[in-house]
Structure 1
Amino acid sequence: MKAKVILAVLLVLVLMFVTACGAKEQASKESDSAKLQPIRVANWSKPITEQTNLLVDEKKQFFKDKGLEVTVIPGAGGGDAIKNIVTGQADIAFTDPGSLFFALDKGEKLKVIYNIYPQNVFNIVSRKDKNLIKPQDLKGKTIGVYSLTSGTRQNLLVLLHQAGLAEKDVKIVETGLLNFAPLMQGQVDATAATDTGLVIGKQKGLGEVNVIQVKDYLNVPSDLFVVTEKAYKEKKETLKAFLEAYRSSAQWMIKNPEEAASLASEYAIDGKDEQQNLRIITLRNASSVSPETESKGLGVLDKSVLQKAANTYQKLGLIDSKIDMNEVVSDDILPNIKTEEKK
């Protein structure tokens, strides 16, 4: 009986010790979390494979190492992302130049602080038998776009403008997001899409196609980090830390695409197929670099390209105001040297 009592006491003491250790560990985690600076990123989409580097901080800790606790807020387009920073729901917008120009045209006070994808990822896809190999060939053709407010339509108009054509020279129809069925069925002559959209289309049986790349005619960046002027003035150090961390995460994904493709299966809503993940990540890595990034580091901003794009949007009638990108682009918080990958 005495042995049983001693054993019971020992078990209680062990249980108390384990519980205390657990509570201490939890308190330590909560304390560490409390020390992190929260920062909210308004995304243009739900969490998808091409953004894997932004989604895996739980395991890779690019942002935590800089003292940041990042929350990614999903959206439905670049306009959504900008709306979230303007209304104070987020600190940084992951958005496209078109949505930026539209917001500036409405009088919003914004700053561009990082060039996420300096390469334009939009294209015009057509079946081989249509023999559409240059923008001028699109005259008189029916062209599908995701929607009339999408980047596919905006970039199609930019491409037409560079070729001396206008919207009236083609027939534009909505075909839905990543919907290549109308093209495959001959309902449209061509479809405006993206590089990753084309990967998915081919996987679904699109077959051999001709592809006109928008970047070959005007290489407008695909996505940017944008903040309000207020956030830029009040949160410079936090924003600088974020950009340093993001650059490290992008470098990691460029150097480790297979690992990123594997992690995408855990964190991205479209990441079930690791081989498809790898194809998408490889494309997005390619769009993250340019001759300028080789010498100045990822994220470098080219005001002249953005100015040319803004001017084109005005000429197309997409915006009314003349925008001076010298007043919008700010590169003083961009890391000024390439930082080596630490993970």
Structure 2
Amino acid sequence: MNHSIASPGLTRRHFLQVSSTGVVTATVLGGALLPAGIAHAAPYRGTHTWISPRGTIEVMDDYPYWVAREMDYFGDLGVQTKMEPGPSDGTAVVKFLAVNQADIGFPSPGVLSFAVNNKMDLVSIYGSGARDLFNIAFRKGEGVRDLKQLAGKTVLLGSAAWQSIADPMFADAGVDPRSIKYIEAGWPTWTKALQSGQGDACLAWEGLRADLEAKGLKFDYWLGMRGSKLPSNSLVVRRADIQDPDRKAVLQKYLRGWAMGSEFADRNPRAAAQMVFKALPQTLRNYGPRYGTESLLQIHRTFKSDLTLRKGWGEHDIAAWDNFFKLLKRIGQSSIEIDAKKYVLNDFIADANRFDKAKVHADADQYPLSPELQAVDMASMEKSFYASAIN
């Protein structure tokens, strides 16, 4: 199999900025200044690199990739697939894409809008997050069911860039985002700051809920997947790459691998969790088998939503994205009108879902679980799954 795992840090040091004219540049230490928009000749240069928006890959969220890698669902791409953690700056993922330092990323819709506003010609080609995966966390007993009650309150963020996520959530719930007092409490310490008594709430997300529980950080949650109509993170690439026949062919195979990985996890989440742990041993140490499986299942349910109402894994809800972009313009987060159909594409979805589901189900059913994963009680997990939800 032609795959590899990236080292924990980036192999070169990058400095990225958006100039006053909106042009993105990256200084590579010891190298030249690269302008945005360079379209390198096909094919990809030996690797196809996915970049995280969260500064780490030691999480359960990216399980479709690890399943596809383990089961050889990517097939022969002709390039190595890699994952990079990227900087924890929330906008770095799109900046790296724009200057060809990564090939595919997983930004939030707000960060994609930032890219569009700054003339980075990026497009979303796979809507991983069918439902809003972001939550608002509260100290136990202090949660509110109506986010309007947070007007005038203090909300903690891990990065200032996360305001592009929080503002639309509040606006969608009928809260003027200008009434929220944000504090950048730092990554990865912002949730501990909330627990210690700082602020009134903090931004969180599915998958993180189980991670925090494993660390003894217990909160109440307003769940975006229940209370929000907004879309969520998606797989984003350069437009130039989908216009190049060779790169487009790689992306089509790559996305089919993601869809097959999702189908496998839907059938056997414990096996999918085991594959993540195999690839990322530190993740097993961080979560443990039970909370790792729960974290995966939390994020998976936002990815899946009601699949009977969708044309398959990764389909974007264009109407939801259009509403989101209009909301951004209304609250001043976007300075331009963004045409959802231009930047959010379902062109790859039919092909991505063109695989033998019976074979994937058989793979999932036959995958041998370790004793640790066999011991994870899925029935008990289901009973407590939404215990901390307040909406």
Tell me, yes or no, whether TM beats 0.5: yes
Instruction: Find the residue that maps to 1:335 and give its secondary structure.
Output: helix
Q: From 210, 224, 248, give the equivalent of 1:214.
A: 224
Instruction: Find the residue that maps to 2:283 and give its secondary structure.
Output: coil
| Residue 8 (structure 1) aligns with | none
Q: TM-score, normalised by structure 1?
A: 0.80
Task: Between the two structures, name the one with larger relative contact order (CA 8 Å, sep ≥ 6).
Answer: 1
1:297-312 matches, cutoff 5 A: 297-312=312-327
Structure 1: distance between partners of 2:215 and 2:85: 26
1:195-206 matches, cutoff 5 A: 195-206=206-217
Superposed CA deviations along residues 259-315 of structure 1, whole A, max 9, x for unmatched, are 122222222342321222101111121111123565411011111111111122222
- Report how far residue 321 of structure 1 moved: 1.2
Instruction: Find the residue that maps to 2:160 and give its secondary structure.
Output: coil
Q: Give the aligned residue type for 2:195.
A: M
User: Are the counterparts in 1 of residues 132 and 225 from structure 2 also a CA contact under 8 Å?
Assistant: yes
> Is 1:283–2:283 an aligned residue pair?
no
Q: TM-score, normalised by structure 2?
A: 0.71
Runs of 4+ in structure 1 over 6 Å off: none
User: Are the counterparts in 1 of residues 231 and 324 from structure 2 also a CA contact under 8 Å?
Assistant: no
| Residue 184 (structure 1) aligns with | 195
> Is 1:50–2:65 an aligned residue pair?
no
| Residue 50 (structure 2) aligns with | 41
Instruction: Find the residue that maps to 1:117 and give its secondary structure.
Output: coil
| Residue 112 (structure 2) aligns with | 100
| Residue 63 (structure 1) aligns with | 74
Q: What is the number of residues matched between the two proteins?
A: 307
Structure 2: distance between partners of 1:162 and 1:333: 29
1:1-343 matches, cutoff 5 A: 38-44=47-53, 45-47=55-57, 48-56=59-67, 59-64=70-75, 69-77=80-88, 79-130=91-142, 132-150=144-162, 153-177=163-187, 179-207=190-218, 209-234=219-244, 235-268=247-280, 269-272=282-285, 273-292=288-307, 294-336=309-351, 337=353, 339=355, 340=357, 341-342=359-360, 343=363
Superposed CA deviations along residues 203-224 of structure 1, whole A, max 9, x for unmatched, are 33344x4422234443323211
Larger mean CA deviation between 236-245 and 62-71 belongs to 62-71
- Report how far residue 116 of structure 1 moved: 0.9
CA RMSD of aligned residues (A): 2.6
Larger mean CA deviation between 117-126 and 88-97 belongs to 88-97
Instruction: Find the residue that maps to 1:177 and give its secondary structure.
Output: coil
Give the structure with the higher percent helix: 1
Instruction: Find the residue that maps to 1:160 and give its secondary structure.
Output: helix
User: Are the counterparts in 1 of residues 64 and 260 from structure 2 also a CA contact under 8 Å?
Assistant: no
User: Are the counterparts in 1 of residues 137 and 143 from structure 2 also a CA contact under 8 Å?
Assistant: no
Seq. identity, %:
22
Structure 2: distance between partners of 1:333 and 1:159: 28
Structure 1: distance between partners of 2:101 and 2:195: 41
Structure 1: distance between partners of 2:171 and 2:253: 39
User: Are the counterparts in 2 of residues 293 and 300 from structure 1 also a CA contact under 8 Å?
Assistant: no
Which blocks of at least 5 consecutive residues in structure 2 are unaligned? 3-44, 364-391
User: Are the counterparts in 2 of residues 92 and 226 from structure 1 also a CA contact under 8 Å?
Assistant: yes
User: 1:203 and 1:302, CA in 2 relative to 1: closer, same or farther beyond 3 A?
Assistant: same
- Report how far residue 65 of structure 1 moved: 5.2
Name the larger-Rg structure.
1
Q: Give the aligned residue type for 1:41.
A: W
Which blocks of at least 5 consecutive residues in structure 1 are unaligned? 1-28, 31-35
